[in-house]
Amino acid sequence: MTLWPQSSHGKIPAIEDLRARYAVLFARFAAPQTDVPFTPARLGAISGEWVGESVDGRIILYFHGGGFIAGSPQSHRSIIAKLVEASGVGAFSVGYRLAPEYFFPAAVRDGVDAFRALLAKGFSASSIILAGEEAGGGLAFSVALAIRNAGLEMPGGVLALSPWADLSLSGLSILQNRKSDTVLEWETLFVSARHYLRKSNPCDAYASPAYASFAGFPPVMVHAGANEILRDDASKLGDRAAAANVPVSVEIYDGMGHLFQCEAGRSEAKVSLSRLARFIRAKSTAIAA
């Protein structure tokens, strides 16, 4: 039985059907049970929303998942609210442009523009943590790469949950975990990558930071589940950071699937969120009172 909605456009799903598939996945994110405020806003030309408040100059610049073709700050409020609540650090959730209407590298450019806008608002680079999940997790690293190559001061850290960082889909876990991953499947990612990349090389470092040099990067933290098809993407990011002598922590949680942090009540989710929160506070610089 296929996981895809029926399409009248042949074997490859139309973008509407693909987005419908992602909408089903997003439904597993329960509405945030929190008093954290969500405020629609813009950073320069970039739309998004503030999540919580920055009370000491620290801020999370967050990139949602959705295969670069779906999702929004609103669809991922639950998971970003969990990070904000756990860390006590506010966030700006970026409404970056989506493919196929805006293809690679539009999302990367939007991320860099949002970072520049935070600097223009008076945030120091070291007070900013780049973060994201799934495609947004890979995007956080791509944005860090673009920031470094532009000669800008680097953020305080980069973190990702279940990142998609290799759009060539070359990780062995893509095959090993095809039955144990109940959330993502190869076909979903393959077609999403086609929409996002068009004719670009899937191994381009800005598209797939698993192939980038991380020289000069700030500290890195990556969490993933052992049962998900993106497990090896997390490991590849750790390998790139270690090769560049960047402080790095990659944690693969046994028995866990894609974005297990969304599963309320799981002890592993609580541990992961606690460790991510400590990283955010430890690696971001507060403004002295």
Q: Which of 20-24, 34-38, 121-125, 271-275 has the lowest mean pLDDT?
A: 34-38
Q: Residue 54: its pLDDT value, please?
A: 86
> What's CA 258's distance to the chain center, in Å?
12
Q: DSSP E strands: which ranges in 162-285?
A: 220-225, 248-253
Note the pLDDT tens digit of each residue in 200-229. Answer: 999 999 999 999 999 999 999 999 999 999
Q: Residue 85: its pLDDT value, please?
A: 94
In the predicted model, is pLDDT for residue 55 greater than 70? yes
In the predicted model, is pLDDT for residue 260 greater than 70? yes
Which tokens belong to 125? 């680079």
Q: Residue 225: its pLDDT value, please?
A: 98
The structure tokens 């950073």 sit at 43
**pLDDT band for position 13 (cuts 50, 70, 90):** confident
Which tokens belong to 259? 């974005």
Rounded alpha-carbon distances, angstroms, from residue 283 to 50, 74, 158, 267: 20, 26, 9, 24
In the predicted model, is pLDDT for residue 126 greater than 90? yes
Average pLDDT over residues 60-89: 96
Q: Residue 263: its pLDDT value, please?
A: 87
Domains of the chain: 15-283 (3.40.50.1820)
Measured distance CA(19)–CA(165) in Å, rounded: 20
- Largest pairwise CA distance in the chain: 61
Q: Residue 11: its pLDDT value, please?
A: 63
Q: Residue 288: its pLDDT value, please?
A: 59
- Burial level of 266, CB count in 10 A (0-12/13-18/19+)? middle
**pTM of the predicted model as reported, rounded to 2 decimal places:** 0.95
Q: What is the DSSP string of 139-163?
A: HHHHHHHHHHHTTPPPPSEEEEES-
